[in-house]
């Protein structure tokens, strides 16, 4: 939580005030009311009367921007550095700055943001696409009259050529609307691709799935040759397979020298976390032993597989270490200190067998609410439901 008592200074602009945790005149070197990028910030305030802006130069308070209720806490240096990257003068610079971090907004707010977007803002959003999203988007653009894309393999198109191909397109408001209307569809297509990838690779080991999440391989299982920035985008995008309700995924974070698979926030504004342990899709949930019985027949005994037997104490230990971790250790992970409210183990696939299903249900009930075991079959079903909901609510 931000300590707003540090914002001791303020300037009134019309009916609105902007708050500072530093002396503006000392920062700018003059006693004027404005500063670089002020005009765009003022436009934002005029268009968003319910929002309040708090400016800081303290990296520890916020390195970019964050929200608490209707309060926007903005790092002035980060905003001004961003403004320098936009050549033309624009009253919408501040909105474009916020647009870099659209994960902070709900779906309705995103749609509203893009419905009123300028060329600059749309370009900034497109720059955030993963290579996979870019490829899906380009395929859609190829079907639109008046859009000329570079010849050759569009899957490996550079950012420069990609944006150059859009330059004339973005000057047409009607065609801009095509972009804004396709964002939800792009999300659906990406989830469809991820679902197909998992369906094709249920015979693989956990390292193969982890390499895919980490962007080391593409959807065909071939090695990726991507820069660090694209790898980061892919990691965030591929973690959507666990649920659109989860945000701020951290892969292979370390606590007390032990590495967990994935730690993710439950929702924006709350420090409740879900810890995810990935095991192999081709692993078994149970080890089934067939033994002779007293009636000269055979009976099946269900025992926990080695993967499950290892995963349960393993994930509980990670949870305990996170619970007792210091603020410094949480900071190294890149998250605010919080509580792990659920542990999720993903392993194996569901068997088409009534007895297996009954034992699996008993296992889940016996673990209570702290640990949940999902199969990759469950994960695929969850993805299918998400895609269906997105399609029905476009």
SS (H, E, C) the chain: CCCHHHCCEEEEECCEEEEECCCHHHHHCCCCCCCCCHHHHHHHHHHCCCCEEEEECCCCCCCCEEEECCEEEEEHHHHHHHHHCCCCCCCCHHHHHHHCCHHHCCHHHHHHHHHCCCHHHHHHHHHCCCHHHHHHHHHHHCCCCCCCCCCCCHHHCCHHHHHHHHHHHHCCHHHHHHHHHHHHHHHHHHHHHHHHHHHHCCCCCHHHHHHHHCCCECCCCCECCCCHHHHHHHHHHHHHHHCCCCEEEEECCEECCEECCEEEECCCCCCEEEEEEECCCCCCCEEEEEEECCCCCEEEEEEECHHHHHHHHHHHHHHHHHHHCCHHHHHHHCCCCCEEEEEEEECCCCCCCHHHHHHHHHHHHHCCCCEEEECHHHHHHHHHHHHHHHHHCC
Q: Write the CA distances from 258 to 273, 312, 326, integer angstroms.
A: 18, 15, 15
Contacts with 123 (C-beta within 8 Å, 6 or more apart), sequence order: 163, 166, 170
The reported pLDDT for the residue numbered 111 is 47
**Region class of 215: left (phi > 0), else alpha (psi between -120 and 50), else beta:** left
Segments of the chain scoring below 70 in pLDDT: 1, 31-34, 84-93, 95-96, 99-130, 134, 136-186, 267-269, 393-394
Alpha-carbon span 363 to 97, nearest angstrom: 48
- Give the gyration radius of the chain's Cα atoms: 25
The structural domains of the chain, with segments of one domain joined by +, span: 4-189, 205-392
Identify the CA nearest to 48 among candidates 72, 31, 22, 25: 72
- The pLDDT assigned to 189 comes to 80
**Nearest of 310, 311, 306 to residue 276 by alpha carbon:** 311
- C-alpha 211 chain-centroid distance: 18
In terms of DSSP bridges, do strands 16-20 and 52-56 run parallel, antiparallel, or are they unpaired?
parallel
Alpha-carbon distance 185 to 172, whole Å? 21
Per-residue pLDDT reduced to its tens digit, 152-164: 565 666 666 666 6
Distance, CA of 193 to CA of 202 (rounded, Å): 15
pLDDT of amino acid 104: 45
Query: 134: closest CA among 99, 163, 110?
Result: 163
Between the alpha carbon of residue 67 and those of residues 61, 73, 277, the distances in Å are 12, 6, 30
Q: Which residues pair with 258 in a beta bridge?
A: 255
91: burial class by Cβ within 10 Å (0-12, 13-18, 19+)? middle
Pair type for strands 262-265 and 247-251: antiparallel
pLDDT at 144: 58
């Amino acid at each position: 939580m931000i300590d707003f008592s540090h914002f001791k200074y303020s300037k009134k602009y019309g009916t609105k005030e902007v708050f500072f945790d530093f002396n503006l005149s000392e920062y700018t070197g003059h006693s004027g009311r404005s500063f670089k990028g002020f005009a765009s910030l003022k436009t934002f305030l005029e268009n968003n009367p319910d929002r309040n802006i708090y400016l800081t130069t303290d990296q520890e308070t916020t390195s970019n921007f964050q929200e608490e209720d209707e309060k926007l806490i903005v790092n002035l240096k980060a905003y001004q550095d961003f403004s320098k990257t936009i050549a033309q003068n624009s009253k919408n610079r501040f909105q474009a700055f916020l647009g870099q971090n659209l994960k902070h907004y709900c779906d309705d707010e995103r749609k509203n943001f893009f419905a009123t977007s300028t060329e600059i803002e749309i370009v900034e959003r497109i720059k955030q696409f993963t290579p996979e999203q870019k490829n899906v988007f380009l395929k859609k653009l190829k079907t639109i009259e008046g859009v000329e894309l570079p010849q050759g393999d569009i899957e490996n198109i550079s950012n420069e050529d990609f944006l150059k191909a859009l330059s004339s397109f973005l000057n047409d408001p009607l065609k801009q609307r095509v972009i804004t209307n396709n964002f939800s569809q792009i999300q659906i297509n990406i989830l469809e691709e991820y679902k197909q990838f998992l369906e094709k690779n249920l015979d693989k080991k956990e390292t193969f799935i982890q390499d895919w999440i980490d962007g080391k391989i593409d959807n065909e299982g071939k090695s990726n040759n991507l820069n660090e920035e694209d790898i980061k985008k892919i990691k965030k995008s591929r973690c959507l397979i666990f649920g659109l309700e989860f945000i701020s995924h951290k892969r292979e974070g370390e606590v007390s020298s032990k590495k967990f698979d994935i730690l993710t926030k439950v929702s924006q504004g709350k420090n409740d976390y879900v810890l995810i342990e990935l095991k192999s899709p081709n692993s078994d949930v149970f080890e089934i032993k067939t033994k002779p019985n007293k009636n000269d027949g055979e009976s099946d005994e269900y025992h926990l597989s080695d993967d499950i037997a290892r995963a349960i104490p393993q994930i509980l230990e990670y949870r305990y270490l996170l619970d007792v971790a210091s603020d410094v250790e949480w900071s190294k992970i890149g998250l605010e200190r919080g509580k792990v409210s659920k542990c999720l183990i993903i392993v194996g696939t569901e068997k088409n067998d009534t007895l297996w299903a009954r034992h699996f249900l008993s296992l889940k009930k016996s673990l209570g609410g702290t640990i949940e075991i999902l199969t990759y079959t469950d994960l695929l079903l969850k993805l299918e439901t998400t895609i269906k909901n997105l399609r029905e609510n476009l």
